[in-house]
Amino acid sequence: MRNAIRLGIRAFLAAAVFATQAAPAQTYPSKQVRMIVPNAAGGPSDLVGRVLAQKLTESWGQAVIVENRVGAGGNIGVDAVVKAAPDGYTLLVTNSAPIVVNQSLYAKMPYDPVKDLAAISLLASAPQVLTVPSNSPANSVAELIRIARAEPGKLTFGSLGNGTAPHLAGEMFKSQARIDILHIPYRSVPQVHAALMVSELSMFFDVPTVLAQVQGGKMKALAVTGKTRTGLAPHLPTLAESGLPDYEMGSWYGLLAPAAISGEIKAQLHAAALRVLAQPDVKARMNGIGFEVVGNTPDQFAAHIQSESARWANLIKATGIKAN
């Protein structure tokens, strides 16, 4: 009788422990989820984050609220996620810079993106578009390079500050084309566009949404920075096709969480994100703002982060770029 009682107690305790361990995964999410975007509202990261947040809210029946935490090139928002409880209720949707660029750009970082964050999935990617003024004498990358070599130091390229994607794209172009062009940072994209349209600026590496202005005749597009041509403008060659065979660059946006998140919740988040990315209307919305849907495994995303970190570290070291 006593043995039977002991066995019953053991079985009850084992079941209780199992239920306690399984409960977070089974009931997640049971309350509002906060999704931090370390960039300003209306920007590419914010747009991707809001599409994901809306669809997860519909799927889970729990609100997913986007919170824009800007500053220090995205470091402030990412650090807030790193310091949050690893319970799945604070997530990060970000562009690549705070994850693979900033550790080489800033002398001191508040977090280690590899050790302090769990990669969930790469969400979307987009090439950049090399644009020039509508009255530029260059109608191809080869012509732009020829003009730059003929007048060293005269042509300029714009950016949104040191270490931003347009800056890195311009520095890579400068290095691989072996030309001397001057970097001019601006505070906003509208300022860059205004300068480009009156020929105060020679070139700018822009996001694909600029193609609407290209079609309107306000500027010219010469090439895209991706490995392959974009479906948004299949007539535009890649920079690799245009004489720079090693040139490849794109912006990407990913979903991450605090590193200590449980395997069960991490798996749920990954599955939920892939379900969202597979929806036709999500693909249409992403394509409409110039992005291509990706979706991969946590291990693939983590490997991508490591390879990208090494690549940008080499460029930043070679060019001596520092944070603003």
How far apart CA 65 and CA 82 sit, in angstroms, is 18
Superfamily of domain 31-126+250-319: Bordetella uptake gene, domain 1 (3.40.190.150)
What percentage of residues in the chain have a pLDDT greater than 70? 92
81-100 residue pLDDT tens: 999 999 999 999 999 999 99
At residue 258, does pLDDT exceed 90? yes
State how far Cα 171 lies from the chain centre.
19
At residue 10, does pLDDT exceed 80? no
DSSP letter for each residue of 43-101: SHHHHHHHHHHHHHHHHHSS-EEEEE---GGGHHHHHHHHTS-SSSSEEEEEESIIIII
**Are residues 206 and 129 in contact, defined by beta-carbon separation less than 8 angstroms?**
yes
pLDDT-derived band at 179 (thresholds 50, 70, 90) equals: very high
Which residue is listed with tokens 């939920």? Answer: 272
281-309 residue pLDDT tens: 999 999 888 889 999 999 999 999 999 99
Mean pLDDT of 95-112: 94
**Are residues 20 and 51 in contact, defined by beta-carbon separation less than 8 angstroms?**
no
- Whole-model pTM: value is 0.83
Cα diameter, the chain: 98
At residue 7, does pLDDT exceed 70? no
The amino acid at 307: S
pLDDT-derived band at 26 (thresholds 50, 70, 90) equals: low
Q: Is 251 helix (H, G, I), strand (E, B) or coil?
A: strand
Q: Do domains 31-126+250-319 and 129-224 have the same CATH topology?
A: yes
Residue 224: closest CA among 122, 312, 141: 141
Tally of CB atoms within 10 A around 294: 18
298-319 and 165-177 helices, crossing angle to 10° = 60
Q: What are the domain boundaries of the chain?
A: 31-126+250-319, 129-224
- The whole-number pLDDT of residue 24 equals 46
At residue 240, does pLDDT exceed 80? yes
Superfamily of domain 129-224: Periplasmic binding protein-like II (3.40.190.10)
